[in-house]
Structure 1
């Protein structure tokens, strides 16, 4: 079982060092102890209007001043597009500056306490509970004993649901020659209850005489001891699982909720272990809410039911009640309507109070101090930890850059000391059927910030498994991003087609960290009738040999947009009638303000082609725009790509690309034909742009639309 505990620890977070006891913090110049407290009404709804004076706190039985009481809602308002609103292209990149903190929830299924094949009522209800969570809520699922299939903190709630569907009970009632109940066995073996022992012996040995009776009595006592020890071993497994989870959660910042799904916990003789669980939960800022499943009335795997069934159930229930009470949680009984229980629990988990309680020097003696939180209002329930343990400040263990990067990558939520934006570009790998993934990241640069950084990347597949990772020290490139000075980092990796989550973390020479998460779709590009890469947009390169550098968001300064993409097909000569039109619009649904027809350049064989385009932007004012690449084959539209960019130069500052630069990007231009250039569909977009940006020229553009070019 030691290996199972370690597996649970690694699952949730890989801590860089051991955690210290809770330290007092300073708030408003006063040293305080932070205490999480949940206050709910009789329907389980959080009470949101309490003020500091309404809270009463005692430490070691003596009143203690409440310095502050902040109501913390864990249901943030998340930006969701409304019907009819113009779409934006912000989803092309991710930013940790706009990340939303949600709830951290661990769902743990104690399979060793749940009857064989049972538990689906609760796990299915838990799946519906996931549907009510927000994308910012991170959920992990573990099983006890650990079976090797679990999910760490993720916003991929489908993955969590799939794991829950597989989590069913594996427990059997202890079976021996004699049908002795758990309550009876513990009474005989642990409590030396002579009355219960006599009743059980009489049940099995009452008709025997002589040595047969003596041997029967000995077997009853022996089997009672075996049953009690088997039950104790199961309890130890559950406690070890709880300890491993809480030890991991201690390394994760902020309040957490652990949902413990169980059919019972017999804690006779394990009260000290439960008290330790309560202390660990307080140190980890974790509330343990218990889902108590109904034990089946009949077990198809059992020939006989327990003769002390009612007493057995009382033992199992009392242990879970103690667990919830010691960990600031609640016990929810589940029979048929498990959804109601999860709905109520979700409501209770949606908010809490963060109390700042004045700290005294005596709190730092390293001892445990009982703490009690109450409010004067009637009809409410207060749940808070029952004790805390302070300790003198100690020097933190030295950490390497790699340690801190691992910790940042393991954090469920984005770290924002360093503002980071990130995007990815997908291409067909030229040497295999895999996808070449290019990662472009930029870190906001301020003052004399050093470009020397530690950078870590982890790529996680749809099953929650890490498929690629790297930790490195790198010198980033200084540049001018679309929104200010940045440090840029590019990385590349080859992956199988699929959907992934990419996490990137960075740390500078001052120890400031940042992390970010970005969804990745590496679609199939090899062996299909048609596929297309991502679209790159950029300024025209300065040098003839210069390519287009992928960036998070292009910043255009020369009055022109250079665009590049690749097309793939498993059919020869597929691109003979393909045309790509690159348009520029104000947003995803806006009209084209400028456009250019892309030039197809044959690839290494007839099954792929590069597309380059140069779109003049001289008539457009500075601002944010979206490039659209619309792909047609004959009369049929077969694809469309978008990429946002920012235009920062006015038309007067536009610089026309030199022929050398153009020749490095495009094929040789066709002979100039006046009638082709003056087609209405070509001239019209420029006139539309002039009407929008220069209203004073309306009379002139009207004259041109009529076909009069005589001044």
Structure 2
């Protein structure tokens, strides 16, 4: 534990000094989901084909971005706690736009919207945010917020403004008004760095129509196909992914079909489903039912939006920025559905100058995922003399020899407030250790690092910053490590090491208290022990005893194991602390 305590000394983060960078290529984001809507977790670049303007482009790199905790399938077995956090552990959060076509819904149908939104809010995380928009005239009813109560109130305040006896021309006119307002809204969000999930509620839209017989000039409610195509362009610039929710009982207009066999009197189709199909096709959106069962459709949206992929393409001299291009993404895996916009607009990346270089503090405060520097991180709990706890920070760069220019960490409580910070004094130290004092509780540890080339990485880990009670005693976190130069060096991932050293602190208790302590290695928290060894107890000071044991792991096959530190008092009181050990093939 002394190595972790020594890492508490911090200093302000130094800005990185980039040397030379490989030219970055344009990036394409898309989702790949299984039949139940769960995102695929292990796509490889060789499985992805990207076409721009119908030309196949080389996928240079592929990374997965988690925006929310991974959904757990119903009936799935309980999983062991991950041994550490990684770049993939960062839940970057999602931005939802709940857009309602008010003129399409008649009064009294509002409960359909409220029930559906409730399904989304049950899967809402503190990192998510949602906006409520009423189109064409209401505008933004609620700006982006993470407060579910405010989202509910905003949706409850929406009311249907549609007509029960709508003619075909009236359908076309209101569709045009809606599309124009939707285009204006999307234009305000052009150039986003992260995708926007647009959940569009509509009870019907007109398809393209002249609104006048062929022999005459187009009518005042003409709806050209370019109106839909322009939505595709603005959606690509805003990185907007569409889900179109429609009532299951949409019917044809009451207006009669007036076209003769020669087309005389043909004003266009009055089918309110045609416009929905056109909009979904133009945006690459998924159509989902909006029915009395309520929450199911948006629960699927929540699952599908919990992760996406970013494919970096090999740059070409002819790459065009700021202009829409056709896009097609295919995945060579059975049973996988790709969600991708049919068009994309590459935004020009801002060039960093000497005064705008990215700093560790920027990465720590950002909600974005940073994956260029791969990290493994973990937090462990120790007791402070003043009754608070100290969260020890353990950081392992995936590339152990990669030169880091700066590193830091923050501890974040559930509401998003930062309760403590740490900045590394010497990023070249191995292992990288730090500490942050905090009140007991549950936190999210976010660690950021920038390497010598200016590339950034961020990883996160959930930390239970509480001590484990055991009668009159309290137990700190179990820490795993290896022996190096006569000292114990914390380690997050093991390979060919023959043994792993486990230790934890025991606090309190009267003098002379007798107890026994053992170390166990098992496959799961409550499974039978594969290895059992005694723990040595060494008094560190008047109120702290350190329990240490050496577990043989050389013969264990690669995989995840649970290491259990167990103590038992004379009266039979037991206490234990556990940590997952990951062994990889090397």
> Could you tell me which of 95, 98, 101 is aligned with 1:109?
98
> Could you tell me which of 174, 193, 204 is aligned with 1:251?
193
Q: Which residue of 1 aligns with 2:266?
A: none
Q: Counterparts of 1:562 and 1:495 in 2: how far apart (Å)?
A: 24
Per-residue deviation at 1:142? 0.5
Instruction: Sort the Cα spacing of 1:243 and 1:488 in 2 relative to 1 into closer, same or farther, 3 A.
Output: farther
Contact 2:516–2:568 (8 Å) recurs in 1 = yes
Q: Counterparts of 2:291 and 2:205 in 1: how far apart (Å)?
A: 20
Q: Which residue of 2 aligns with 1:495?
A: 438
Q: Counterparts of 2:582 and 2:51 in 1: how far apart (Å)?
A: 55
Contact 1:111–1:168 (8 Å) recurs in 2 = no
Instruction: Sort the Cα spacing of 1:397 and 1:106 in 2 relative to 1 into closer, same or farther, 3 A.
Output: same
Q: Which moved more, 1:589-598 or 1:405-414?
A: 405-414
Q: Which residue of 1 aligns with 2:84?
A: 93
Per-residue deviation at 1:582? 3.7
Aligned pair count? Answer: 486
Contact 2:97–2:196 (8 Å) recurs in 1 = no
Per-residue deviation at 1:284? 5.0
Contact 1:630–1:637 (8 Å) recurs in 2 = no
SS of structure 2 residue aligned to 1:288 = strand
Instruction: Sort the Cα spacing of 1:633 and 1:270 in 2 relative to 1 into closer, same or farther, 3 A.
Output: farther
Instruction: Sort the Cα spacing of 1:149 and 1:389 in 2 relative to 1 into closer, same or farther, 3 A.
Output: closer
Per-residue deviation at 1:429? 3.2
- 1:7-57 CA-to-partner distances (Å, cap 9, x unmatched) read xxxxxxxxxxxxxxxx9959xxxxxx969799999x9999xxxxxxxx999
Q: Counterparts of 2:532 and 2:34 in 1: how far apart (Å)?
A: 56
- 1:122-154 CA-to-partner distances (Å, cap 9, x unmatched) read 0244467x59xxxxx998340324757844xxx
Contact 1:503–1:517 (8 Å) recurs in 2 = yes
Per-residue deviation at 1:515? 2.1
> Could you tell me which of 625, 631, 636 is aligned with 2:567?
631
Does residue 281 of structure 1 match 2:275? no
Q: Which residue of 2 aligns with 1:596?
A: 535
Q: Which moved more, 1:555-564 or 1:624-633?
A: 555-564
Does residue 168 of structure 1 match 2:155? yes
Contact 1:103–1:138 (8 Å) recurs in 2 = no
Per-residue deviation at 1:595? 1.2
Question: Which segments of 5 or more consecutive residues in structure 2 lack a partner in the other structure?
Answer: 1-22, 40-48, 133-139, 207-220, 256-269, 331-336
Per-residue deviation at 1:565? 0.3
Instruction: Sort the Cα spacing of 1:386 and 1:596 in 2 relative to 1 into closer, same or farther, 3 A.
Output: closer
Q: Which residue of 1 aligns with 2:505?
A: 565
Contact 1:435–1:525 (8 Å) recurs in 2 = no
Contact 2:379–2:391 (8 Å) recurs in 1 = yes
Q: Which residue of 1 aligns with 2:451?
A: 508
Contact 2:360–2:406 (8 Å) recurs in 1 = no
Aligned positions of 1:210-609 closer than 5 A: 242=186, 246-247=189-190, 250-252=192-194, 256=195, 258-262=197-201, 278-292=232-246, 324-338=280-294, 341=297, 361=318, 364=320, 371=326, 385=341, 387=343, 396-398=351-353, 400-403=356-359, 406-407=362-363, 410=366, 413=369, 415=371, 417-432=372-387, 434-445=388-399, 449-450=402-403, 452-463=404-415, 465-468=416-419, 470=421, 472=423, 474-478=425-429, 487-523=430-466, 531-536=474-479, 552=492, 561=501, 563-567=503-507, 577=513, 579-583=515-519, 585=521, 589-599=528-538, 603=542, 609=543
Contact 2:441–2:464 (8 Å) recurs in 1 = yes
Per-residue deviation at 1:590? 2.4
Q: Counterparts of 2:278 and 2:76 in 1: how far apart (Å)?
A: 52
Q: Counterparts of 1:84 and 1:332 in 2: how far apart (Å)?
A: 26
Q: Counterparts of 1:358 and 1:440 in 2: how far apart (Å)?
A: 37
SS of structure 2 residue aligned to 1:598 = strand
Q: Which has the higher strand share?
A: 2
Q: Which moved more, 1:327-336 or 1:110-119?
A: 110-119
> Could you tell me which of 111, 115, 122 is aligned with 1:121?
115
Contact 2:237–2:324 (8 Å) recurs in 1 = no
- 1:652-686 CA-to-partner distances (Å, cap 9, x unmatched) read xxxxxxxxxxxxxxxxxxxxxxxxxxxxxxxxxxx
Per-residue deviation at 1:581? 0.7
Contact 1:326–1:386 (8 Å) recurs in 2 = yes
Aligned positions of 1:627-706 closer than 5 A: 628-643=564-579
Instruction: Sort the Cα spacing of 1:319 and 1:502 in 2 relative to 1 into closer, same or farther, 3 A.
Output: farther
Per-residue deviation at 1:260? 0.9
- 1:479-531 CA-to-partner distances (Å, cap 9, x unmatched) read xxxxxxxx3322222333332222212111112332212111123679x9764
CA RMSD of aligned residues (A): 6.6
Contact 1:111–1:170 (8 Å) recurs in 2 = no
Q: What is the TM-score normalised by the length of structure 1?
A: 0.50
SS of structure 1 residue aligned to 2:241 = strand
Q: Which residue of 1 aligns with 2:214?
A: none
Q: Counterparts of 2:490 and 2:199 in 1: how far apart (Å)?
A: 46
SS of structure 1 residue aligned to 2:128 = strand
Q: Counterparts of 1:507 and 1:75 in 2: how far apart (Å)?
A: 19
Per-residue deviation at 1:579? 1.7
Q: Counterparts of 1:124 and 1:67 in 2: how far apart (Å)?
A: 41
Contact 1:505–1:516 (8 Å) recurs in 2 = yes
SS of structure 2 residue aligned to 1:503 = strand
The structure having more radius of gyration, on CA atoms, is 1
Per-residue deviation at 1:321? 6.3
Per-residue deviation at 1:459? 3.1
Q: What is the TM-score normalised by the length of structure 2?
A: 0.58
Contact 2:204–2:273 (8 Å) recurs in 1 = yes
- Select the structure with the greater relative contact order (CA < 8 A; seq sep ≥ 6): 2
